[in-house]
């Protein structure tokens, strides 16, 4: 039970925490530290998403996690209305982000109204908290 | 025994009623539709020697074989990809018969996906585990972002196409209206006797704003459908007119996956359907203009447009106008989903539309197209061409 003298707590995050697989573990651990990383092949230098144990271009197992620019554009987007997505007070804008590194990432666009979202609009990464003290990369309109 | 190439044909189809609450187990639905397909063909279920379904079906092969009294099963498989694999069952059944390895291949699908669980709702604990083999390798990456349902993944997949070619939600309504018109005339359809207008479509609630409304989405259904494949020669001696499997193919190009399909180069096309089309036209020597009808997987309406373009029935970006002009109507250039499709008849994951393809070749559809020689079947990642003997 909470003692009446405790300061009011910040609202608890309701967003579902990522489901972490072994091949994506380093990605989500970096996100917890507010770092947006991507998989780059240690031999041929190509980026790959989603993360996987082997480079599909040269079959190297030498996988490097490098920090990405965090810059991208809104390649596709939608607003889930029904059923209302679990863990969100308001419907989020879900988007496929085309990243500067040439790979794509499903995320949310935050900080824009439903009528302000535009195809190919420029966005940059930021982070939002989830249940169980994790963080996920989301995107906001790019600052000039 | 020497093996020779054997032509394959569909000899039987069977289905249960399509409902929202079947009141019996999925295994019972599977057994009932399988028996119906065997009886339609005039073969004993004891003689089934091949069994094929696809992932996200809970009825077990051995349990179903036990119901049917299958004496000696020579081949079973469960194809990855969920509904996208629907037509791949025909492909594999054809290949087994072609190779002389099976004589009576049963394809089945049976689910209580409305009364027992809800396909279109937010995932429950069981679905969150996303078993491998569903063909949706990247779904886990969508869930923390509120994309938790097939409609959300499907909208995200189709949105860039819709934006690029200026396809509006109202444009999609013409597909729904046409399919419900077909369903209204099909006694087996859930929406039998219930046509809709474009205004009904536009008044249905947003599922994915501003792309998909309720009436752009397939149903959640209880029911089962089965198809029996044998050799063409044998089919000629059975009860029904044989339906030849002229060609069948599957295609999963690099970086393509089912529904959470955002990683291939150009999101304004469906590369898997383009791959299937290329293989089918090459296998059979036929062209789009040789098809008199098509059954196209319509989990969501925009995917009908993407497949029409992938198969070359329309040029890129022109399918919506083609539909608006009546292209998929009974007297149109290519009647499409004449059972009412997965929105109008039922959502048995494409299997019910494949059975409709068989009826069109036999001449027994409630919305029969005149002078049918060839029917295209597409489930996106796989397809087949059915033909008159
Ligand atoms: Zn490499």
Q: What is the pLDDT of residues A54-79, one digit of tens each?
A: 999 999 999 999 999 999 999 999 99
Q: Is residue A9 part of a domain?
A: no
- Other CB atoms within 10 A of residue A118 CB: 13
> Can you tell me the distance from the alpha carbon of B121 to that of B140, in angstroms, rounded to the nearest whole number?
16
Distance from CA of B165 to the nearest CA of A (A): 13
CB contact at 8 A, B267 and A75 = yes
Annotated catalytic residue within B91, B174, B182, B297:
B297
Please count the structural domains in chain A. Answer: 1
Specify the pLDDT at position B130: 55
Which residues of chain B are within 8 Å of residue A82 when distances are taken between CB atoms? 205-207, 214
Three-class SS state of B224:
strand
Section B314-341 average pLDDT: 98
| Residue, of B188 and B120, whose pLDDT is higher | B188
Specify the pLDDT at position A79: 98
> Can you tell me the distance from the alpha carbon of B185 to that of A144, in angstroms, rounded to the nearest whole number?
58
Identify whether B117 is a catalytic site residue. no
| Residue, of B56 and B268, whose pLDDT is higher | B268
Is it the case that residue A139 has pLDDT exceeding 90? yes
Shortest CA distance from B124: residue in chain A: A86
- Cβ B140–A19 below 8 Å, yes or no? yes
Specify the pLDDT at position A3: 54
Q: Is residue A34 part of a domain?
A: yes
Average model confidence (pLDDT) across chain B: 95
Q: Is residue A122 part of a domain?
A: yes
Is it the case that residue B57 has pLDDT exceeding 90? no
- Cβ A106–B121 below 8 Å, yes or no? no
**How confident is the model over B157-199, as pLDDT tens digits?**
999 999 999 999 999 999 999 999 999 999 999 999 999 999 9
Three-class SS state of B323:
helix
Specify the pLDDT at position A32: 98
Specify the pLDDT at position A1: 46
Specify the pLDDT at position B131: 58
Q: Is residue A6 part of a domain?
A: no
- ipTM, two decimals, is 0.94
Provide the domain limits for residue A78.
24-141
Determine what percent of chain B is predicted with pLDDT higher than 90.
89
> Can you tell me the distance from the alpha carbon of B212 to that of B229, in angstroms, rounded to the nearest whole number?
37
In words, the CATH class of domain B8-116+219-388 is alpha beta
The single residue listed with the structure tokens 């499709």 is B341
> Can you tell me the distance from the alpha carbon of A65 to that of A46, in angstroms, rounded to the nearest whole number?
12
| Residue, of B139 and B49, whose pLDDT is higher | B49
> Can you tell me the distance from the alpha carbon of B79 to that of B63, in angstroms, rounded to the nearest whole number?
18
Domain boundaries, chain B: 8-116+219-388
Q: Is residue A18 part of a domain?
A: no
Specify the pLDDT at position A11: 83
> Can you tell me the distance from the alpha carbon of B241 to that of B388, in angstroms, rounded to the nearest whole number?
8
Q: Is residue A114 part of a domain?
A: yes
> Can you tell me the distance from the alpha carbon of B55 to that of B356, in angstroms, rounded to the nearest whole number?
22
From the list B146, B209, B254, the residue facing A88 with the nearest CB is B146
Is it the case that residue A87 has pLDDT exceeding 50? yes
Q: Residue B168: is it exposed, middle or buried by C-beta count within 10 angstroms (0-12/13-18/19+)?
A: exposed
User: For the whole model, what pTM was predicted?
Assistant: 0.95
């Amino acid at each position: 039970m909470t003692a009446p003298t405790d300061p009011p707590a910040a609202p608890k995050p309701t967003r579902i925490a990522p489901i972490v697989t072994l091949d994506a573990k380093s990605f989500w651990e970096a996100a917890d530290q507010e770092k947006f990383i991507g998989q780059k092949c240690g031999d041929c230098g190509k980026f790959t998403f989603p993360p996987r144990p082997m480079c599909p271009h040269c079959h190297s197992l030498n996988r490097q996690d490098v920090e990405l620019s965090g810059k991208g554009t809104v390649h596709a987007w939608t607003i889930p209305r029904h059923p209302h997505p679990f863990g969100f007070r308001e419907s989020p804008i879900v988007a496929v982000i085309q990243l500067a590194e040439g790979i794509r990432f499903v995320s949310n666009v935050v900080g824009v109204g439903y009528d302000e979202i535009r195809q190919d609009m420029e966005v940059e990464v930021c982070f939002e908290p989830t249940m169980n003290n994790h963080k996920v990369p989301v995107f906001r309109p790019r600052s000039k | 025994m020497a093996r020779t190439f054997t032509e394959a044909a569909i000899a039987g189809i069977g289905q249960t009623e399509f409902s929202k609450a079947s009141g019996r187990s999925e295994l019972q639905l599977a057994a009932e539709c399988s028996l119906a397909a065997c009886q339609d063909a005039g073969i004993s279920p004891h003689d089934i020697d091949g069994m094929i379904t696809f992932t996200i079906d809970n009825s077990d092969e051995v349990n179903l074989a036990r119901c049917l009294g299958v004496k000696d099963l020579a081949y079973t498989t469960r194809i990855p990809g969920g509904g996208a694999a629907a037509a791949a069952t025909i492909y594999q059944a054809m290949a087994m018969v072609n190779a002389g390895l099976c004589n009576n291949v049963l394809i089945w699908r049976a689910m209580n996906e409305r009364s027992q669980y809800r396909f279109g709702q937010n995932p429950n604990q069981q679905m969150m585990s996303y078993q491998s083999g569903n063909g949706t390798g990247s779904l886990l990456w969508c869930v923390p972002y509120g994309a938790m349902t097939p409609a959300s993944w499907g909208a995200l997949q189709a949105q860039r196409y819709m934006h690029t070619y200026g396809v509006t939600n109202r444009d999609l309504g013409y597909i729904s209206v046409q399919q419900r018109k077909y369903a209204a005339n099909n006694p087996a359809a859930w929406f039998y006797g219930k046509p809709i207008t474009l205004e009904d479509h536009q008044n249905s609630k947003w599922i994915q704003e501003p792309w998909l409304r309720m009436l752009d989405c397939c149903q959640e259904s209880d029911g089962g459908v089965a198809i029996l494949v044998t050799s063409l020669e044998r089919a000629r001696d059975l009860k029904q007119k044989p339906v030849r499997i002229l060609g069948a193919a599957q295609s999963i190009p690099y970086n393509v996956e089912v529904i959470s399909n955002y990683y291939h180069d150009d999101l304004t096309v469906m590369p898997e359907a383009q791959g299937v089309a290329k293989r089918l036209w090459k296998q059979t020597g036929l062209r789009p203009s040789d098809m008199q009808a098509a059954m196209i997987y319509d989990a969501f309406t925009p995917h009908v447009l993407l497949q029409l373009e992938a198969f070359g029935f329309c040029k890129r970006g022109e399918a919506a106008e083609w539909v608006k002009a009546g292209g998929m109507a009974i007297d149109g250039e290519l009647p499409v989903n004449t059972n009412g499709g997965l929105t109008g008849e039922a959502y048995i994951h494409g299997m019910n539309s494949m059975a409709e393809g068989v009826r069109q070749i036999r001449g027994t559809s409630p919305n029969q197209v005149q002078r049918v020689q060839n029917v295209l079947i597409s489930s996106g990642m796989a397809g087949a061409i059915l033909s008159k003997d």
